Structure 1
Amino acid sequence: MDEKDSMTPDTIPQSTPVDGTVPAGRKNRRPVVIGVAAVAAVALVTGGVCGYRAYENHQVSMARQACQSAVTDLGKTVKSYKALLGADGTTAALKTDATSVKDAKTLDALKQAAGAETPAMVKCDASDKIGLDAAAAKADKTAKGVKAAAKALESAVKAVESSKLDKTVADADGLYKATEGNVQDEKTREALKQAIAKRDAGTIAKAAKSVNDSKAAKEKADAEAKTKAEQEAQAQAAAEAAAAQSQTQQSYSAPQQSYTPSYSAPQQSYTPSYSGGSTSGGGSGSSVPDFVPSSGGHGVGSANDCDAACRAPIQH
């Protein structure tokens, strides 16, 4: 029934007589009104059910899209974490020796950060909004955990690199101080000092090599000079010793002695004298020649010569 028909005078309700009779003009209108109301009610119920189902399907679809988006973000986060874990900087930091860093604790933190397990992926396989929302929430939470692990890993890598640089700077500063006056070219130490101030590892390494090379060159030159000086001192000492020996030989000559033995035999001269003796009393007599030596050399010339003459052998 359209709006025009509903506004006609026939549809205006009429007062009902006391006896309950219906006017003749409205006897056939009630069934029509009831039928329209029933159809409207059925349409309303049917439309409501269909509308709810459509709304519910829409909600499920939106939840599924949200879940898929969360899972996609999780996948990207995990991929980024894996890329950071396999990066050259991370690999180099993990291979760093404890002697190469100033603080060894940074290596422990790095190993812990790199040891985080990669989470499993979340699936949006639920058929209702509640299940899809739960999956999306799980994907979001997992992604946040992976992002936190990636941030911790990145910070740990930077901490190791910073500690390595601190150790490099400290070693370079020690080299600078230890080589004062011990390099062949002082400019190399000045370049090292500037590199330390810049805290540039590459520049420090280059400058430190130059200082070490200059130090080695000076040590070599000093060693050669020392060897040469020792050789010259030895040569001079040998020359002085040779000169002293030659002078000694020239100033000394052995004494010469000549010996001619001479011998004079003692000479003796004597003149024997003999005088005949006489015997008396008829006896026989013997005569002994008188021997009176006359001293020509060893004869007795005086009383003082008696001893020598007396000791002389008697010749018969």
Structure 2
Amino acid sequence: MREWRRIATTAGGILLAACVTVAGMSAWRSHESATAARELEQATADCATARAAAKKAERKLVEYLDGDRLAQAKAVTADKLADPETLETLNDLSERYAAGERIPTCAGGTETAQATTGTLRSTEKRNAKRLARVRKAVEAVFASRLAHTVEQGERLYSSSEGKVQDEYSRALLRASIDKRDEKAIADAMDKVNASIDAKTKADEERKAQEEAAAAAAAQAQSTPAPQQYSYTPSGSASGSGSGPTGGGYHSSGGSAGSTGGSASPGWSVPANPDPSQLPGTDPSL
């Protein structure tokens, strides 16, 4: 009897131990299953967050590549830049980044989700760096254009001294250059060029007037004066003739009327002469 009781007790202990072991293994398996589920859930959530961040970074990059700021920078021509290589760099970057890259999805188990999360975080960082690089390239183009504008303004300011009709335009250009205001510099340069053109035109008109006046004066000096005619009465008689000779109209450059010959006398006898005025007549007779 005692032997059977001892055997029964031993068998019960073994059975109890087996039950405890089975229960423990079941609980462990349940714990592992719950832990795996939580890990998968966490990995999936992390992957989704990383994917959203990667998509946001990609969207910002695409929006900037399609935006007005980049378009304005790319529209600048090389001849307007102090350093044309800035435009080449911008064009290269914008073309390279325009294709983008594939954003993976968060599918699969825990390990796959965790690996995808790492890939997505790397993608986000790359797109953020690309955006920063493109922005820097755009600003480099605008800075190069400003430097070129300032250089052109300085040259015009120096070369226009004494050549403008309105000195205020040059003062305005100087102030705009000192402020490094690109638009103000361009506007002031237009005003200076217009003032230069106005002075050039005024100088040409004045020169033409002076040349015309000089030509008129030279023409007046080279034209001979008109001949002058005067009447010179004769007061004496010549030879043995009875009538006076030598009177009449004489040219300032010619000779007086001659006596004899076929030349006409330079005087005429009145129709009713006064005897007292005739030569050789005694008024008392």
Pairwise same-fold verdict (TM > 0.5): yes
Q: Distance in 2 between matches of 1:232 and 1:107?
A: 57
Matching of residue 246 in structure 1 with residue 225 in structure 2: yes
1:55-93 per-residue CA deviation (whole Å, 9 max, x = no partner) reads: 111111111111111111111111111111122121111
The 5 A counterparts of 1:19-168 are: 21=2, 33-116=13-96, 117-126=99-108, 128-168=109-149
Given candidates 171, 175, 187, the residue that maps to 2:168 is 187
Instruction: In structure 2, give the amino acid aligned to 1:83.
Output: E
Q: Distance in 2 between matches of 1:114 and 1:23?
A: 91
Give SS of 1:240's match.
helix
User: How many corresponding residue pairs?
Assistant: 238
Q: Distance in 2 between matches of 1:58 and 1:182?
A: 83
1:100-150 per-residue CA deviation (whole Å, 9 max, x = no partner) reads: 101111111111111123111111112x11111111111112222222221
Matching of residue 209 in structure 1 with residue 190 in structure 2: yes
Q: How far does residue 97 in structure 1 lie from its aligned partner after superposition?
A: 1.0
Give SS of 2:225's match.
helix
Q: Distance in 2 between matches of 1:200 and 1:78?
A: 34
Larger Rg: 1
Give SS of 1:140's match.
helix
Q: Distance in 2 between matches of 1:200 and 1:45?
A: 79
Moved over 6 A (4+): none
Given candidates 201, 223, 233, the residue that maps to 2:214 is 233
Q: Distance in 2 between matches of 1:206 and 1:257?
A: 84
Q: Distance in 2 between matches of 1:118 and 1:28?
A: 76
Instruction: In structure 2, give the amino acid aligned to 1:254.
Output: G
Q: How far does residue 180 in structure 1 lie from its aligned partner after superposition?
A: 0.1
**TM-score of the superposition, structure 1-length normalised?**
0.68
Stretches of structure 2 that go unaligned for 5 or more consecutive residues are 230-251, 263-285
1:6-51 per-residue CA deviation (whole Å, 9 max, x = no partner) reads: xxxxxxxxxxxxxx94698x89765654444333222111111111
Measured on the aligned residues, the alpha-carbon RMSD in Å equals 2.5
**TM-score of the superposition, structure 2-length normalised?**
0.75
Give SS of 1:118's match.
coil
Q: Distance in 1 between matches of 2:219 and 2:210?
A: 14
Q: Distance in 1 between matches of 2:193 and 2:167?
A: 12
Q: Distance in 1 between matches of 2:28 and 2:205?
A: 108
Name the structure 1 match of 2:246: none
Name the structure 2 match of 1:301: none
Q: Distance in 2 between matches of 1:254 and 1:145?
A: 113
Q: Distance in 1 between matches of 2:138 and 2:88?
A: 11
Give SS of 1:143's match.
helix
- Provide closer, same or farther for how the CA distance between residues 189 and 171 of structure 1 changes in structure 2, counting only shifts above 3 A: same
